[in-house]
Structures are given as structure tokens and as C-alpha cells.
Structure 1
């Protein structure tokens, strides 16, 4: 197959860049559940981020969270200081993506942020307040996740957040609610594109978002496979770099790359064996153990009620196929 001309890629990149500008305008104009989605500046990275996070499941306890509460208590009976502060504020502040298609992205027609992660964030608000609209969606980059949780500027992250041992040193997680894995998105005219691996893209420029475990692993493997890592603030930024000829491939979770492929018909998500397993959890401040236990009970109810599957069918089934069983939670962290 003939590789599409660079000029075509540039033209398509112009469309994505324009779309990003429209998304920014929409975020400024729209509100979600009575709260305007808030874009925040990127804080200085933590020491862990500067060193790069290890790949997911790099230890035996990465997916182990705290025991869930026996049941979800009535709001007026909760005495935990951290969760009490959220309840008294009248909303939960959740860090989300606005450009991760299918998981958290802005609907260009309505301006609302929607997707698989957003459904779960709204369910948490529904259980806390009896109203799924009592959520303040704070638009953040992947690199924002740790420092904003640590500073207390957000209460929770629902942004395809891989659980790793390194991250447990800095924050806490709910139980795993989705299982993904790192792979590659490449041009459809690349030889054997559907089976692309780090080895088959040897010598090429591969993009991953700043502050992600995908970028950390890419850098670890760069010398072995003669790869040239490039980064961008987010996956959409990587797609723009790809379309402008500044990157030859993108690496990230298969779920995220599926969203990019849906936006660019000249790309393919590799079906080769996943580079890593990426378990997603909801991130919270390290001290918010009670909130993590609350979330674990809420997630268990979300899954058993069928709402997890309903959300999957709404957002992911067309791209990723029939819904799998939700991940089996691991509890017992002390």
C-alpha cells in the first residue's frame, strides 16, 4: 500500500488542531451538572514523575486496594473528615480527560464531557449526593494526576489511570475497574501494521503522553529497539504529531488508541500481544483511605447492578467488541 503523502497528513492534522481549539472553546462555554469543567495549569512534576513511572503490575500488589465498606452509609452518618469535606462542599471534584475518545471526551455538538470514565464519576456523585450532576469535572492532563491529588486541588481522578506500585507510593487507588494494555497505533500502510511491536518499528519515532507509564516504558525500551521517543501533553497531541509527520507511531493503552483510530481511518491499532497489562483504578489522595473504601463498595455495586456493562456497551462495544467480565477486585491492603 502506498504511504499517504505528508501533505495529506498535514491537512488532516489541521483538522485535528482546529478540533482541539473548538474543544477548548466548548469547555469554556459549557457546564456539567451545574459546574463548569475547569482546565488547570500543569504543576511541577513530582520526583516520581521526573524519574518515570514503572509499567503497570510491576509488583504483586499494584491492583490490591483497601477493603470496601460493608455498605454505602447515608451521607449524614459519615464522620470521616476527608469525605465529610467533600459532602459539605456539595460536589466531588474529579480530574478527567476531555480528549480521550470513548473514555472522557468533549461532545462537539453538546459541549458535554462524556465517556466510560465519566459515567463512573457520575455514579460516584449519585451515590454520595443522590444526584449524578453533583460532580465538578476538572479537565487535566495525564501529568497533572499525581500532583493535583497530592495538593488536594481535586478529590478523585477518573482518567484511564493505570495502577502501579510507584504510584501507590504517592497516592491511593480504588479497586481495579477496567483492564487494558499497552500497544501501538501505526499507519495503516506500514508493513504488517496489525501486528506491529516495538521490534517491528525499530528506528522509528514513537509518541506517548507526558507523565504516563506508557512513556516510561517506551523510554526503557528505546535503546533495546532503537526507538526515538517523542512526547506530547496528551494522546490527541500525539495524534497531531503523527499526522504532521513528527512521529511514526503512538503507544498507549489499547482502549485509548482505539479512540484515536476511530478519528483517523489511516491508522491501525496493533493486535499483537500487549506490551503490558494496564489495570485502571480511581485515584485519590494517599490519606483518603476511607474514600477509597467507599469507592470500592460503590464500584462493586456499579458492576453488580449491570451499569458497568451498560456503560461498556454504550461507549466501547462497537470498537472493542463484546463486554468482558469486570476485573476481579483485590482487597486487603493495610
Structure 2
């Protein structure tokens, strides 16, 4: 959802184009509206409860404990299993997404439709499994609820700019990487903040709960104040920055670029200080679904500039993240 820019000066911030703070609040309330069907909190998306038990947990924990290459995933396959069968029996793919990340997953204020790079990928998965890209139930979930939504079986997949990490593969299963990003700092153009460095000392920095940005600041903050300044959704950090409640935001540069596109008064500062990969997440033990997702992604990457991935990049991301020539290469493991 787009927002006009902000002016910074004096002791506060003045919002343009939304009728001030009240207008901003109303706009955020609009994006929060989404129709969700009730979902059972049972065994999960096509998952046998016993298959998700201690045996699977121990095996994955062992891989995570010795993790060196977390984005290596199961080899692709079109074979069906319990997770795929459950989706087909339901007739809908249930996808956990964002509806507030411009260019990635956001609700178009004119059409009220969900749009973005991640949404296009969800549609490709639905078309492959169910033969129809529209057979999707979207569930808008905050950053810190992505893993829990999968564990409780409320969604089949999470496609929400979710970084694959060694810590996370203990809790959920991931597809191969579909995008490469990196953590970066977003701040007002006239700010003294120069990037992820000593210029953050004493500054109030916003991050999303459960994000890799928070983990990065917890490991090394350069004296920034970030505890107690987390939000449930990354877009709320931009709002807090516009209101003058924080001095900077740390987030994936892919998301930060979209926020800078929403507000011309802010910009990316310094260089990305991590290298991260987004993957489609699903419940542990849903190996048939992971393999099917990897098959979908293999097809999605093909075709060069005329293929689905590059077309989606050109449509949604190229303007704010120029220079990307191809999707990340998939990495596979045998078990």
C-alpha cells in the first residue's frame, strides 16, 4: 500500500497526502481488512501427527545443529503425498502472506486485491498443484507469527519474504531460495545515520518482531536503542519513522527499497551487511510439498528474461532494486 512522503524538521514530522496522523491510521486500518476462513488448529497442512513427531524433529535438529548451508533443500519432484493430497481434497491452497509490504505482498487500495512478487509466486504454486492460480485462501500473518502459523496447521505455506536460516530450519521446512536480499538501514535522507555502523549510536531503531534484522541488532547494535521498539509488521516501522518516533529502520533491503519508494523523504543508507535468501516455508515433515515447491520454483526460474521469475522481477521489483540479472541458483541436498 503506497504512502506519500514525509517532511522532517523541528521537533516532529509532518505527513503529506494522508491528512496527518488520523489519515495514516485510517489507511493502515484499511489494509488490515482481509477475509479469512476459519482453519482448524489440528495436525497441519497435509501432515500426519506422528510424522511430525520426535523422529522428524530430531533429524531436522541434527541438520540444523551442524548447519552450514541452510538454503539447501530437498530435490524437486512432482510425486504426491499426504500434504499435496490434503490441499487437493480441500480444493484450495492456504497461503500465509503479507498485505503491507509494497511490491512484495500488499493490498492494492484501488482494487482491494493482494498483489506483489510473493503473491505471484503463491499463484504459480496454486496453478501447479490445483490447476488454477485463483484457488488460494490468503491469510495475512505478522512477521513473528509465520512459524507458529505453520506449526499449528493454519496455513500450508508461508510466502512472506522469509529468510532461510539455520535457526529456522529447526522449526519449519523450506524450499530452495527464490530471492537474495541483505539487511540494510533505512533513514531520512538528511539523517546523520550513514549505515550499519557507529552512526547508529544513541539512535532509536525499529525492527519487526521475529525478524533477522532484530537478531542482527541483538548481536551488534553499535549503541543503537532497539529494545522495546519492535513492531508486528515491517510497514509499521515506516509509519513510526514518518511520525518521528524512531530515527532509523533495519530490515531486508528488498523491503526497505519498497518503503523508500513509498516515501521519497527516506533512503537506504550504507551497504547491505548480510547475505540472505528467501524461501517458501512449510511444516516440518511435509517432504512431498517441499519437493513439489522446488519443482515449481525450477520451472519458475526458467526462460531467462522471458521466464516467469524475470517477468515478476521486472513488474514488481526492478524499479526499486535494479541490476538483478537472474534468480538465485537452487541448492539441493539428498536427505
**1:10 positional shift:** 5.8
Tell me which residue corresponds to 2:223. 226
C-alpha distance in 2 between matches for 1:213 and 1:67: 26
**1:5 positional shift:** 3.5
Secondary structure at 1:105 match in 2: strand
**1:226 positional shift:** 0.8
**1:37 positional shift:** 4.8
**1:320 positional shift:** 1.1
**1:273 positional shift:** 2.8
Pairing 1:125-204 to 2, within 5 Å after superposition: 125-191=126-192, 195-204=194-203
**1:269 positional shift:** 1.0
**1:14 positional shift:** 4.4
Tell me which residue corresponds to 1:246. 245
C-alpha distance in 2 between matches for 1:139 and 1:277: 26
Q: Deviations over 1:198-250 (max 9, x none)?
A: 3222110110011111112112213xx11100211111111121122221000
**1:264 positional shift:** 1.3
Tell me which residue corresponds to 1:285. 283
Tell me which residue corresponds to 2:262. 263
Structure 1 residues 259, 227: CA separation in 2 closer, same or farther (over 3 Å shift)?
same
Secondary structure at 1:165 match in 2: coil
Q: Deviations over 1:287-312 (max 9, x none)?
A: 10110011001100011040000000
Runs of 4+ in 1 over 6 A off after TM superposition: none
- Which of 12, 32, 35 is 1:24 aligned to? 32
C-alpha distance in 1 between matches for 2:200 and 2:284: 38
Structure 1 residues 216, 14: CA separation in 2 closer, same or farther (over 3 Å shift)?
farther
C-alpha distance in 2 between matches for 1:39 and 1:201: 43
**1:278 positional shift:** 1.5
- For the pair 1:8 / 2:13, whether they are aligned, the reply is yes
Tell me which residue corresponds to 2:89. 88
Tell me which residue corresponds to 1:55. none
Q: Deviations over 1:169-208 (max 9, x none)?
A: 01100000100000000111114x6x42232221101100
**Contact persistence 1:313–1:323 (CA under 8 A):** no
TM-score, length basis structure 1: 0.83
Q: Cα RMSD (Å) of the superposition?
A: 2.0
C-alpha distance in 2 between matches for 1:86 and 1:164: 26
- Which of 63, 66, 69 is 2:71 aligned to? 63
C-alpha distance in 2 between matches for 1:237 and 1:3: 18
Q: Deviations over 1:67-96 (max 9, x none)?
A: 111xx35xxxx3x11211111000110000
**1:159 positional shift:** 0.1
